Amino acid sequence: MKKFLPIIFVLLLVTLACVGLPKKQKVTPVPPLPTEEPTPTMVPPTATPRPTTAPPTAVPTEKIDEPVKEEMPDMDGYSSGSALIYGDDFSDPKQDWESSSTEAVIRTFEDGAFVMNLLDSNYDSWNTVPDRVFNREIVLDVDFQSDEDLPDDVVVGFVCGFVDNDNFHLIAVGPDGWMEIAEYKDGERNRLFSINDQARLYAGGTHLTGVCSPTQLTLYANWVEVGSTKIDALPAGRVGLFGGTYENGNAKLVFDNFMISEGPYIQPEEMDAHLGEVGKLLFEDDFSDEDTNWDVRTIDDGSLTEYLNNEYHMLVNVPNFDLWSNPNDFSVSQDVIVDVDVKLGSDPGESMAAILCNYDMDTHDDFIVAGIDGQGYAQIYEYVDREINWLYTSLFPIPLDPEINHLTAHCIGSEVALLVNNTLVGSASSSVTKRGNVGLLAGTFETGTGDFLFDNFTVHTVK
């Protein structure tokens, strides 16, 4: 997570405002769900992979786990159910999951996380929580990561209704947006459901949520539904983690903050934002004409705003600094939807490109900022009385396009929802209730230079 520094100075200009950023944030424990528009990729083979040697696990003979909440460890993860009943952040593992390693899969604990190294192709691997058998709706959450060499056709998720190694259900998704729901019955693997081009598994970080109910199985990736199917009956059984390979082996799967909660599934408020319907076009600018009157300034440290080659250039040369600008001949005082394309440059680091909402053109204060930094973290905060209040920061980085990324802000009353490349990544409620103008912002944190090119800026009403 980011570390932030105290505020260092304030500089207000008539049409261009710049301020040092206080770097202590109010962190929301909910990640955005970031997903890109999926691109067509190879679909795993339609044939069911041959079952291979599974980890030794005894048939669950324990009594049904009662819905009693126990004392939970202090964990950084997020539970999507109604009441947390089990949690393991693997800093002091509750189960000895390493002992079931084989020649095909190596299980270890690394840096406070549980790791499955799947060495073979066409191999399924799982680990379940012993001593707990469920016969009701259960919600499973886990934080997943891997390295850049993660095969496209790997699948990662959960097992539900685990009776023994020959009888259980699995729900999983891969980096190419292909997901499956399958059943092992008497040792035979049967695919119940599959779908392409869904919310994808990102090696940089993905929060997975599985909902296991007696008659339906559902999987979410970063709180976006990947797929769901009805089943005849889920037997009483254990739950746990799952990883599988197809044509490619050598997949490193890293799990952290594994949680089991009572159902039902609860969508995080930050990912359940009200999105407006696009209405009338109020303003558009492709920055080919300087008469649109955005700020053109150069500050002593070399930071600047300018029209450059039919784009709007914003450069910040110092750390912990925000530089913003508005179309000074345009004013709005209603709910709007703002869109812009941005080039982040080759090495944006922590620097952030953002859209402004509810900007007070008289005081150059009291407004909302919604943007994305160069590492892929979504940020939403407000300026109130020359102070920054952090409203939302995504837990996981959002995969960004190396060339151009499209930002959209739905500015509806005091609410703002941010989309990156047409995917909702977070929302927040602000204390800034007065409708105001819009604008653009370039900002830096402890390190990095903000050097952005903006284009195709539009403002629409909300129907």
Residue ranges of the domains in the chain? Answer: 10-30+272-462, 83-267
SS (H, E, C) the chain: CCCCCCCCCEEECCCEEEEECCCCCCCCCCCCCCCCCCCCCCCCCCCCCCCCCCCCCCCCCCCECCCCCCCCCCCCCCCCCCEEEEEECCCCCCCCCHHHCCCCEEEEEECCEEEEEECCCCCEEEEECCCCEECCCEEEEEEEECCCCCCCCCEEEEEEEEEECCEEEEEEECCCCCEEEEEEECCEEEEEEEECCCCCCCCCCEEEEEEEECCEEEEEECCEEEEEEECCCCCCEEEEEEEECCCCCCEEEEEEEEEEEECCCCCCHHHCCCCCCEEEEEEEECCCCHHHCCCCEECCCCCEEEEECCEEEEEECCCCEEEEECCCCCCCCCCEEEEEEEECCCCCCCCEEEEEEEEECCCCECEEEEEEECCCCEEEEEEECCEEEEEEECCCCCCCCCCCEEEEEEEECCEEEEEECCEEEEEEECCCCCCCEEEEEEECCCCCCEEEEEEEEEEEEEC
**Thinking of the domain 10-30+272-462, which architecture would CATH place it in?**
Sandwich (2.60)
pLDDT tens for the chain, 463 residues: list them: 322 322 222 222 233 444 444 333 333 333 333 333 333 333 333 333 433 434 433 333 445 655 444 444 455 667 888 888 898 988 887 677 766 788 899 999 998 899 999 999 999 999 999 888 999 999 999 999 898 789 989 999 999 999 999 999 999 999 888 999 999 999 999 999 999 877 778 787 788 999 999 999 999 987 878 899 999 999 999 999 999 999 998 999 999 999 999 999 887 765 656 678 888 999 999 999 988 889 999 998 889 999 999 999 999 999 999 999 999 888 888 999 999 999 998 788 889 999 999 998 888 889 999 999 998 889 999 999 889 999 998 877 777 888 899 999 999 998 999 988 877 888 888 999 888 899 999 999 887 689 999 999 999 999 8
- pTM (predicted TM-score): 0.60
Write down the CATH number for the domain with range 83-267. Answer: 2.60.120.560
Q: Would 10-30+272-462 and 83-267 be classified into the same CATH topology?
A: yes
